Structure 1
């Protein structure tokens, strides 16, 4: 049985003859990520590093001992290289691990999927040890922190990637913090699998409800634009002023009747910013994806690109990508991965989360973000003290893990118990 069609959707179908086939193409892309039950439990982890000199001043992409040089040094261990049309090195990889760069040359390791947390910890520790062996002799180091500690975003060099040049122009004009998100910030992202459409939508909804909690317990941004922060959860504020067409909550995602078709329609109705083109590889466009592909069905590669142009707190690809956490030191990254594993890969945990967040809707999430930015652990979230809610979430995760995996939660558990964050501790040390 087809879903009811509202008037705007009906008008869009008239103006876009291929709209229905494009909705089906996007839904098919999401459904292609469905995994069998017996393979469930793997995690993908991404951690962005801010490269600085020993005095904490920025290390740009270009120049002597710049990040391009760092990538070239890494290539001995990561032999598969990605370059642009002009030969600029943009990433290196080996099976299971890819090193890429963000708009201002933040260095990201994407690794996994991991079936166990020990392997995840070993992979990230080995990478950072190797990276330090390259950086230390030239007076540089890699920070795992949510925002550049000394620089203003607009002063940071943009890497030579055409995609980012268009995004910088578009997002810079869209709202005040587009360049800050692109150039100054750094995050931790964890990805999880799903076993059916209903499992996908359930995990998507619960992950969005958990965003304020995740943002609080992983807050690691004590400075913003070269100065001491003026409120907590800095990256939450940044994302609220980037582009509401493609950030924050997916519209209606917390509604019980939300569907993959509605997610697909949301993608089609947003401005593209850039699209693949033959002449320059990427071309700017402020038309919506639905209008660009109004006359034909999108290819899988075009769907993948369209999905990649959304930066919601939780993003659906062929997995659920949970995105609100700041970059953190490895013990906290693995603790966060353990938390997510315990919450989303255990049936009883999912049931407990359903009960805990049954009545949460979009306005509640936005209010929670606002209050947490102002008050941190002193805020109320969804009608209860933030600390108490964090305790409940942690307890649910612990019950969803075996003893070995539960031990990895300790770094975050200590912060929650003390009602403090890494950013709070850094502020206290700086006084």
Structure 2
């Protein structure tokens, strides 16, 4: 989740609807300025007993963050607590129960992306060796109850933890027990954004299937391959989902702004603190009628904050976020951006991907999304066949898109090699979750603790 790393030196009041739309329009970039931003989360645990460390305990999350300053990271504080770090590789932040996230810098190609992930993992593992902690790459805690988990001292999380149970039964699980990998990508124009949004949204269930990695809850199989994806179906219907309006004629910046104006607020950030306005209307805020801030109108930073509080399968800010994947190991951190860059950053690939999904109806897209958490690649796709078969065609399109980009490393390798983990999933028909279930029922003998040795970074 987004972390404030400071206040805006120039933060004008929003005067008109154009000010809302300007955030999206300012994201437009020429092709040679398109970048790749990758976010990945991981669970932190104590090696001796697999417990999730609290923020303030010796050797806990605060000590982990402070030790990272040895690598040049700069602390970001909230009410005297270090809650994030900033540096040349982006931002390191905390999810609600201490999941550690790197929101990577905007990079030119996937070789840089994977090198960034490698640097980060080397750094946290070096600190972990000293503190007796390690890092787990999964989509959901395999054995922890909500009560087992600490809560980090971030003001927005207190507000969200209070609000979530009012609007869904699984929102606290989303906050406390899940991890994801996300990719942030650019667009050239409003029309380019629309096409990328539509392809990304329609194919998000495929990403969920390829990265499905959350089959356990509290030490036992939960009946899903991506329980993390299922959690989103009962988190908060006002701010999640497949956004059918994205596929309607006329969709663009204005329609997405309207959607966001209808998403209930969580908070307003003022003078270093979060003010609880959960459930309030941003439209009222625009009119100066927010009860908690009577007569005050929102500033540009308030709109930026509000845009970060919707959680659809694809999200628009001044870039597009692909949000469907479970957390996983290092190769998967590189594979997710490879999939989406291959599909969305080459015109021929984007057209080919759109041809695969453009005839799907709203109901068909939703049916596929609903089936994937349990069935993954076995889910039926509109028009016939299974998601595994479509996945093979989509990976071929992504490979062609990466080949066309021709971004090579020092050894002359292009970016398509980063798709290898996904090719393996398609070739074998087994998602990461199904491989874990095979081990659980086989060599592990039902002992979930074995997962720590096999799935840690």
Q: TM-score, normalised by structure 2?
A: 0.86
Match of 1:419 in 2: 429
Change (3 A) 1:427 1:22: farther
Question: Residue 108 of structure 1 aligns to a residue in which SS?
Answer: strand
Q: Which moved more, 1:312-321 or 1:252-261?
A: 252-261
Match of 2:363 in 1: 363
Match of 1:204 in 2: 197
Match of 1:13 in 2: none
Aligned runs of 1:101-180 on 2, under 5 Å?
101-180=94-173
Name the CA distance, whole Å, in 2 between partners of 1:374 and 1:144.
20
Q: Could you list the runs of 4 or more consecutive aligned residues of structure 1 that deviate by over 3 angstroms after TM superposition?
A: 20-23, 277-281, 295-298
Aligned runs of 1:88-103 on 2, under 5 Å?
88-103=81-96
Question: Residue 271 of structure 1 aligns to a residue in which SS?
Answer: coil
Match of 2:416 in 1: 406
Question: Residue 265 of structure 2 aligns to a residue in which SS?
Answer: strand
Aligned residues: 410
Name the CA distance, whole Å, in 1 between partners of 2:28 and 2:285.
28
Aligned runs of 1:215-234 on 2, under 5 Å?
215-234=208-227
Name the CA distance, whole Å, in 1 between partners of 2:352 and 2:24.
26
CA contact (8 A) 1:153 1:225 kept: no
Match of 1:392 in 2: 393
Deviation string 1:319-338 (CA, Å, 9 cap, x unpaired) is 00111111111112212211
Change (3 A) 1:347 1:365: same
- Confirm or deny that 1:311 pairs with 2:335: no
Match of 1:330 in 2: 330
Deviation string 1:303-326 (CA, Å, 9 cap, x unpaired) is 101101111111101100111111
Question: Residue 303 of structure 1 aligns to a residue in which SS?
Answer: helix
Match of 1:245 in 2: 238
Gaps of 5+ in 2: 1-13, 289-295, 404-412, 442-457
Aligned CA RMSD, in angstroms, stands at 1.8
Question: Residue 75 of structure 1 aligns to a residue in which SS?
Answer: helix
Match of 1:29 in 2: 23
Name the CA distance, whole Å, in 2 between partners of 1:221 and 1:56.
17
CA contact (8 A) 2:206 2:377 kept: no
Q: Which moved more, 1:359-368 or 1:169-178?
A: 359-368
CA contact (8 A) 2:52 2:150 kept: no
Deviation string 1:140-180 (CA, Å, 9 cap, x unpaired) is 20011101122112431111111100001101221111110
CA contact (8 A) 1:255 1:361 kept: no
- Confirm or deny that 1:61 pairs with 2:55: yes
Question: Residue 253 of structure 1 aligns to a residue in which SS?
Answer: helix
CA contact (8 A) 1:398 1:406 kept: yes
Aligned-residue offset at 1:363: 2.2
Question: Residue 17 of structure 2 aligns to a residue in which SS?
Answer: helix
Aligned runs of 1:40-59 on 2, under 5 Å?
40=34, 42-54=35-47, 55-59=49-53
Match of 1:195 in 2: 188
Name the CA distance, whole Å, in 2 between partners of 1:406 and 1:162.
41
- Confirm or deny that 1:429 pairs with 2:439: yes
Alignment match of 2:256 (pick from 257, 263, 286): 263
Q: Which moved more, 1:288-297 or 1:66-75?
A: 288-297
Aligned-residue offset at 1:64: 1.3
Deviation string 1:54-77 (CA, Å, 9 cap, x unpaired) is 243222222111111100100121
Change (3 A) 1:22 1:389: farther
